[in-house]
Structures are given as structure tokens and as C-alpha cells.
Amino acid sequence: MIKKVLSVAALIGVSLATNAQIVTDADKIKPASTDYANKDTTAWIYGGILNIGGNEGLLHNWGAGGEVASLAVNGIFSGFLTHLNGRRIWTNNLDLNYGLNYAYSYSFVPRKTDDRIDFTSKYGSRFKNSKNLYLTGLFNFKSQFTKAYDYTDTNWRSYSTSKFFSPAYFTLAPGIEYRRGTNFSIFLSPLAARLTVVDKYYTDRSVQGAFGVEHGKTTKFELGAYLSARYMVNITPNITFRTRLDLYSNYLAKDAKDSTGAVVRKDNPGNITVLSDNLFAFKINKHINATLGIVFIYDNAVPYVSTFPGGTPKNEPLSGLGWLQMKQNFNFGFEYKLPLKKKA
């Protein structure tokens, strides 16, 4: 134990927090207007926010009490890549989040605080008689990097709640997109296909299945209406805000039943899946920056269960939110600019 404490103490002796805001000269194309839609325009525009942060703490004989030793590391990347070619446009957005926490009280076994993979690619062609409407195809993939556990359960080591590719969500949709430059877009598809993939380990553990996939199965196919809106704005020269709203209604939704025919989860096309993803980037001064991310999800396929698998009641501070999923992260650190530029 002494060797473990010394090794961790050496590790947390240095607190690292690095924040990079990727900047391009895409403003020369006037992204807030439709000038980029000129038939002779060909260019790549890219940018984003990268935040890698950490904090540590070490106590000895501290009268106020607290965790003897702790270390938290986390990273956020939110980037975009857009290719303009006359009336055609190809946009890509990638969001990656990951965070771990180490503490003396649980022998520095890492506990995950954040984990997300979210990639969207859209290719569209502008209608001849319109400046802002595009016929567009969309692909979206969502998953996570590593296994997750419910640490509020005393027996959390005995089972995981999810892992890489379990679940994994794939969405493929044709539709119409309204765009204003590269900072605002609304995509609408009346016929969006969605596939959910889950390891049988998770669907076997409950009569309700897992993540909307029925008990004992590994996939679920959905067909429905899909709306995705994105907006980015500089609130002030030092504050940037990005937001995204996704809505999905499954035409094929129906009540889930067990092997006896009993209803274990009610569902219908009116149960719209909602994702609200918000990110604030604050430039405090030349060398210091911070990001604040808040994500809300409502998914009828992920109900809130007030007890652990063994029947023990949960004691969560935000249990009043019910089925609404919420995640909030704040990162603070030093800033540096990456020498990126627009390619024409």
C-alpha cells in the first residue's frame, strides 16, 4: 500500500490542465452568409475545441477532512470539417469525451466520469432555385470507449451497465436541410432508419431487455422521422456557444412484452427521443480558457429504475429527474492556439 500511495503521490504532484481552441481563417468565406454557395467556391473549413484537463488533491492531518489523495483527468474534443464544392457541401462533426477519477478511499481504482463517441456526416446538394435548401443524406454513429459501472451499488464490480459498441446507435437518413452559412443548419428526414446494437449480456439481465433491445436479442431496427438542428455563435469575443437538438420518432414503436405476453415497457410513436447537447467555451485571457458542457437526453428505451439489480433502493441526489438523463462537465485550463489554416 505504501508503494501505491507513493506512486500516486508522485503522479498527482503535478496538476495538468491544457485547453486548445482550434481556430481557422474560415471567416474569410463569410460563413454567416450564403456567399460560400457560389458555384466557383471550393474550400475546406475546419475547427473545434480541444480541452484536456486534470486536478489533484493531497491531504495529511487536515482538520476539515476530505479525500486523502485524489486525481481526476478528463478530455473533451468537439470538432468539425466542412468541404465546399460549388452547390455541394460535405460536413462532418465529431464529439469525443472521456474522464477518469482516482481516489485513495477506493484504492485508486479508476472510476469513469465521462465517456462518449458521437460522429455525424452529411452530404448535400443545393437546389438550383434556392440559396439555403439542400437535398441531404445523413449518417450518425454513437457509442462509448470503455465499460461503465454503477458505482453507487456496493456490488458494482459484479456487473457492467454498458461498454464499447453496447450500445451502439447507427442512423441513416435522406432528407432536406436548411443552412445559413456554416454556423446554422436544420435537417429533417421523414424516413430515417436507426439500428441499435447491444451485447446479449445486457439484454439477458432484464425481462425488459436493454437500451430498447428486447430480452435475449442483440439488435433493434427503427424507422421514423428525424430532426437535427445545430447552431454556433460567438456570444462575445471571448465566449462561444454551440448547441445541438436531435428529435426522433419511431413509426414502429410498440409495447415491449415478455415471453408470457405481459407488457414490460409501454411505447408508441409519440415517445419522441430527445437529445439536447450544449457547450460553452470561455476565453478568460490569452492563456486561460474553460469549457462548460451540459447534455440532456430523454429516451423511452432507457427507463429510470429506482433500485439496483438486487432490489436495494438507490440513493441518488438527482432521482427527481426520473427518466431524463443529464450530464454536466466543466473544464478549466491553459490555452494555446493550434496553427491551422483553411485549405482552398
Per-residue pLDDT tens over the stretch 180-233: 987 899 999 999 999 999 999 999 988 888 999 988 899 999 999 999 999 999
Percent of the chain's residues with pLDDT above 90: 49
Q: What is the mean pLDDT of residues 309-325?
A: 74
Pairwise CA distance, residues 93 & 15, whole Å: 30
- Owner of C-alpha cell 419511431: 250
pLDDT at 24: 43
Per-residue pLDDT tens over the stretch 243-258: 999 999 999 998 877 7
Contacting residues for 30 by C-beta, under 8 A, at least 6 apart: 36, 181
Rounded to two decimals, what is the model's pTM? 0.82
Residue 338 pLDDT class (50, 70, 90 cuts): very low
Per-residue pLDDT tens over the stretch 66-117: 899 999 988 888 888 999 998 999 999 999 999 999 999 989 999 999 999 9
Q: Is the dihedral of CA 320, 325, 328, 161 positive or negative?
A: positive
pLDDT at 160: 94
Mean pLDDT (the chain, rounded): 83
Per-residue pLDDT tens over the stretch 269-284: 999 999 999 999 888 8
Extract the C-alpha cell encoding 341: 489554416
Domain coordinates in residue numbering, the chain: 2-339
* Residue of 42 and 199 predicted with greater confidence: 199
Cis peptide before 167 (omega within 30 of 0): yes
In Å, how far are 31, 36, 257 from 132, measured between CA atoms?
12, 11, 45
pLDDT at 63: 84
